[in-house]
A and B are shown apart, each in its own frame.
Chain A
Amino acid sequence: EPEVTQTPSHQVTQMGQEVILRCVPISNHLYFYWYRQILGQKVEFLVSFYNNEISEKSEIFDDQFSVERPDGSNFTLKIRSTKLEDSAMYFCASRPRGLAGDTQYFGPGTRLTVL
């Protein structure tokens, strides 16, 4: 069964450094998402991406964040200058169009630790 994959599983970085989190969505999906979960808190929506552009973003997704689909398979989240409060589990998700379009399929997550 196809699945969403994410790399790396765990990323440790120093405050102020740039990080890129990578996701490979399911191949025939058209909508892509990033969510994050700070330890002990809710899963929160960050951004959605469709047709090579951001379609919706939350207040969390400020100028420090960017997303890109550099080729036909990868979907990346970049944090330009990491802060301590960016430490969280980051989930990528994708969904198809049409009647099945309500279901989002999640990757296993990348745990980001900012020191």
Chain B
Amino acid sequence: AQSVTQLDSHVSVSEGTPVLLRCNYSSSYSPSLFWYVQHPNKGLQLLLKYTSAATLVKGINGFEAEFKKSETSFHLTKPSAHMSDAAEYFCVVRGGSQGNLIFGKGTKLSVKP
């Protein structure tokens, strides 16, 4: 069965410093992995996705994630945080054959001025 574990429920960084949001996955086959972001009172927006092509995936707003099969990880990074990055971030794996998504519990990112 597919699953994801987000290792931190809350991460706080200062503006201009790097961001690291950690995610480990469990999958019985080559997974499709995603990061979604949810800003307050907004819907879920796709940041990036991995679907067995390049292991380093670039997304919107300067975010990227690296798929590491040996570590079963798909951590999300950004070199320099911006105030507008404050939001909740979800690591997601594709579940069944019909494409249903399985979400992690989310990591709330706070950015201090």
Chain A residues near B55 (CB-CB < 8 A) = none
B99 touches A42 (CB 8 A): no
Known A42-B104, A43-B44: A104·B90 in contact at CB below 8 Å? no
Q: Which of B46, B95, B103, B106 contacts A105 (CB 8 A)?
A: B46
- Write the A83-101 contact mask toward B (1 if CB under 8 angstroms, else 0): 0000000010101000001
B94 at the interface (CB under 8 A from A): yes
Which of A41, A42, A50 has the most CB atoms of chain B within a 10 A radius of its CB? Answer: A42
Chain A residues near B100 (CB-CB < 8 A) = 33, 45, 48, 56, 58
A44 at the interface (CB under 8 A from B): yes
Query: Which residue of A is nearest B51, CB measured?
Result: A102
Interface of A is mostly: strand
A56 touches B103 (CB 8 A): no
B103 touches A43 (CB 8 A): yes
Nearest CB in chain B: distance from A27 CB, A: 18
Pick the 6 closest A-B CB pairs, nearest first: A108-B43, A106-B44, A43-B103, A56-B98, A45-B100, A48-B98
Chain B residues near A35 (CB-CB < 8 A) = 101, 103
- A44, B99: Cα distance in complex, Å: 13
Chain A residues near B96 (CB-CB < 8 A) = 48, 56
Chain A residues near B32 (CB-CB < 8 A) = 102
Binding site for A on B (CB under 8 A): 32, 34, 36, 42-46, 49, 51, 90, 94-106
The A27-75 residues at the B interface (CB cut-off 8 A) are 31, 33, 35, 41-45, 48, 50, 55-56, 58
Chain B residues near A42 (CB-CB < 8 A) = 103-106
B49 touches A103 (CB 8 A): yes
16 pairs, A vs B, C-beta closer than 8 Å: A33-B99, A35-B103, A42-B103, A43-B44, A45-B101, A56-B96, A58-B100, A102-B34, A102-B51, A102-B99, A103-B34, A103-B46, A103-B49, A104-B101, A106-B36, A108-B43
Chain A residues near B36 (CB-CB < 8 A) = 106
- A68, B77: Cα distance in complex, Å: 40
B99 touches A95 (CB 8 A): yes
